[in-house]
Amino acid sequence: MKIAIILGTSKSDGNTRKLVESFVEQSGAKLFDLSDFDISFYDYEHENSKDDFLPIIHELLRFDHLVFASPVYWYSMSAQLKVFFDRLSDLLTIEKELGRKLKGKSISVLSTGYNLDLPACFVQPFELTASYMQLEFKGCEYLAVQSESDLGKVTSSAAQAIENVI
């Protein structure tokens, strides 16, 4: 199974990146860090159609499974990933044919946060989007990081995330 990870975080060497790197190491997945791309807010006029959003979607079509990786920022996905999600609307308007090609793929979520439990409201947008776009939702793996020692759980957490997907 070919797996791509789409990472949106404000800290390119932070906790979520560490979890993602372990996932990549153990699975051979390909990482797309949104901070390496120029993707702007959703535009009703589609004047941003020449930015990096459509090229990244074309690349993602080569994969069977997409992992969305984000820290919990105020109970939600990161702003970087939310901008990416907003732009999925382009695939329902100006690029419908491209959007249809995503159908049948599966997705999952990888996340880190401070609190021991992940709030339900964090996962819902991923589940509901998967359902709306006819993607299979394969779950969410969350690692709470309250101290440096919690980062010792990165390998087992990433392994669990891979097991949920394969």
Ligand X SMILES: Cc1cc2nc3c(=O)[nH]c(=O)nc-3n(C[C@H](O)[C@H](O)[C@H](O)COP(=O)(O)O)c2cc1C
Interacting residue ranges for ligand X, rule: CB under 6 A? 9-11, 14-17, 71-75, 112-115, 145
Closest contact distance (angstroms) between CB of 150 and ligand X is: 9
Q: How far is the CB of 105 from ligand X (least distance, A)?
A: 25
Q: Which two tokens stand for residue 53?
A: 């959003």
Residue nearest to ligand X (CB): 14
Q: Which is nearer to ligand X, 29 or 72 (CB)?
A: 72
- Least separation in angstroms between CB 46 and ligand X: 30
Q: Is the dihedral of CA 82, 9, 24, 55 positive or negative?
A: positive
- The residue among 73 and 85 lying less far from ligand X, judged by its C-beta, is 73
Identify residue 115 by its one-letter amino acid code: N
Q: Strand, helix or coil at 101?
A: coil
Cβ closest to ligand X, residue 66 vs residue 154? 154
* CB closer to ligand X out of 71 and 99: 71
Q: Rounded to the nearest whole angstrom, what is the least distance from the CB of residue 151 to ligand X in the complex?
A: 9
> How many whole angstroms from its chain centre is CA 92?
19
Burial annotation 6-33 (CB, 10 A radius, 16+ → b, else e) = bbbbeeeeebbbbbbbbbbeebebebbb
Could you tell me if 135 and 106 are in contact, meaning their C-beta atoms sit under 8 angstroms apart? yes
